[in-house]
Amino acid sequence: MKKLEMLYSGKAKMVFKTDDPDVYVIEYRDDATAFNGQKKGSYENKGILNNKIANIIFKEIEKHNVPTHLIEEISDRETVVKKVEIIPLEVIIRNVAAGSFSKRYGVPEGTALKCTILEFSYKNDELNDPLINDYHAMALSIATREELDEISEMAFKINEIITEIFKKINLRLIDFKIEFGKTSDGKIILADEISPDTCRLWEIGTDEKMDKDRFRRDMGGFMEAYNEVYKRLSETAF
């Protein structure tokens, strides 16, 4: 496999074509962004940590028969993945009130929710990723009813899996965002990444934040938190 020209550059990753039409290479950068790119920073080795954390988690998810785009990690920053067409939905799972949910509904952060919440937002930076419901998604031809049901079922299963993964390393999974894509044969699989960039993770017992909120909120200790999450994941037998 040979890495070819860059296909796409996002907020923290680049996607490259390869000489295999069904395979891409993702390269993680050291960039940190928040508030739809309005706040930016760069932190040495952040991309390495996110690459490795995401791959550990994706491997564990696949053990539970949830398909992902992961093929192989080929360097500290690069991972070979299956080519997918990303479905323009951000799929958000909330276990505990935090962040925009708390602001939107006036619920104090840390409030346990009566049930797990699934939200969809339309993946569109120009529109600031607005929240949408199933009927919006169907009306806009983003996904069919059947696809939304499949995505929802997978998202709840992923929540169960990674809640246990993080619990083993003394972290409480507050909420997270995931994305799905379609392979060339139309199969829906988990794509993008799962990392402290895309999850809220609180230390069990103290509620210390171990995720990108440390960057968003200028709390300090941003990279120390990411390093600690990777250390615990890499040293734990799941």
Co-location of 78 and 93 in the same domain: no
Cβ count near 152 (within 10 Å): 15
- Is 230 part of a structural domain of the chain? no
Residue 120: predicted pLDDT:
98
Co-location of 191 and 107 in the same domain: yes
Mean pLDDT of 159-172: 98
**Total of domains in the chain:** 2
Q: What is the pLDDT of residues 147-163, one digit of tens each?
A: 999 999 999 999 999 99
Q: What is the pLDDT of residues 36-56, one digit of tens each?
A: 878 999 999 999 999 999 999
Q: Quote the percentage of the chain above a pLDDT of 90.
A: 95
- What's the 3-state SS for the chain? CCEEEEEEECCCEEEEEECCCCEEEEEECCEEEECCCCEEEECCCHHHHHHHHHHHHHHHHHCCCCCECEEEECCCCEEEEECCEECCEEEEEEEECCHHHHHHHCCCCCCEEEEEEEEEEECCHHHCCCEECHHHHHHCCCCCHHHHHHHHHHHHHHHHHHHHHHHHCCEEEEEEEEEEEECCCCCEEEECCCCCCCEEEEECCCCCECCCHHHHCCCCCHHHHHHHHHHHHHCCCC
Mean pLDDT of 10-21: 95
Residue where a domain terminates, one of 82, 111, 136: 82
Residue 119: predicted pLDDT:
98
Mean pLDDT rounded to a whole number for the chain: 96
CATH of the domain at 111: 3.30.470.20
Range of the domain at 53: 3-82
Co-location of 218 and 102 in the same domain: yes
**CA distances from residue 18 to 3, 57, 194 in whole angstroms, order as listed:** 5, 24, 23
This prediction's pTM: 0.96
Residue where a domain terminates, one of 82, 114, 140: 82
- Is 128 part of a structural domain of the chain? yes
One-letter amino acid of 17? K
The upper half-sphere exposure of residue 143, i.e. CA atoms within 13 Å in the direction of its Cβ, equals 31
Residue where a domain terminates, one of 82, 110, 144: 82
